[in-house]
Structure 1
């Protein structure tokens, strides 16, 4: 099995959109207030750029897109970034790909000067939450002000 983590490019936009929507549906993250419904999902490569201190990475297994994750400023902040859209197809879970993607995002966040990383997710995504806890994210009682994902019910923050 060949696993490659690379930055998003236009050739992968349709495939990662498919993954995000499929996995979102699996966990009930459908409609307004959930990441899979964000307009950026249709063209991820157009929304993550060095000039605004954001990146989206995809995971390829045997040259097929199986997931991805990104970092972007939270509400335009230069201090707080957001871990965005970590989604993996079922067959690619349990292989360490989610951890590798998240660590790549966190490395990028640190190198971009962020001091904190925020995320929101769903309580049903227990494996992802366990990963975030393992990587040092702490639970918050409520979302950070300005979050757009009001359908999420778990909020976490990590000091970088």
Structure 2
């Protein structure tokens, strides 16, 4: 599995992976990434300073998934791990671990903490985040735009 920065040509493929994953886990509704304007042009959104988005490529060089980092609610200290989704065939391959390492490596030195929001229906994702140093929170951080998420995590960088 190779990891590289998102390119404009990846926008449609990555948006498709995100939408399919949200449908799979009941996340195709208001208050979630399903309605994010950035989903229509991930490359433009993540090329801003302090942001980045990486994709995992399978053995055929096809986009298998991705994840991003951006400032959280305008904070200079807290970033958010965003839109971390993989095709079903890429889950359990180590792609998520590689993507997370790339994203957190980028975030270190720019931010002090990394926050994320997810759904409790994404059990494997929750286990993955906890295994990788994210601690569960009782409620979202102030400034969250995804009011339908029901699981929140944070970790120090």
**Pair in the same fold by TM > 0.5:** yes
Q: Could you tell me the TM-score, scaled by structure 1's length? A: 0.94
Aligned to 1:9, which of 7, 11, 31?
A: 7
Does the 8 A contact of 1:59 with 1:65 survive in 2? yes
Query: What is the deviation of 1:124?
Result: 1.1
Q: Could you tell me the TM-score, scaled by structure 2's length? A: 0.96
> Residue 47 of structure 1 aligns to a residue in which SS?
helix
Equivalent residue pairs, number: 156
CA distance in 2: counterparts of 1:152 and 1:92, whole angstroms = 24
Aligned to 1:96, which of 88, 91, 94?
A: 94
* C-alpha RMSD of matched pairs (Å): 0.9
Unaligned runs of 5+ in 2: none
> Residue 157 of structure 1 aligns to a residue in which SS?
strand
Aligned to 1:143: 140
Unaligned runs of 5+ in 1: none
CA distance in 2: counterparts of 1:101 and 1:89, whole angstroms = 13
Query: What is the deviation of 1:89?
Result: 0.7
Query: What is the deviation of 1:146?
Result: 0.8
> Residue 123 of structure 1 aligns to a residue in which SS?
coil
Aligned to 1:31: 29
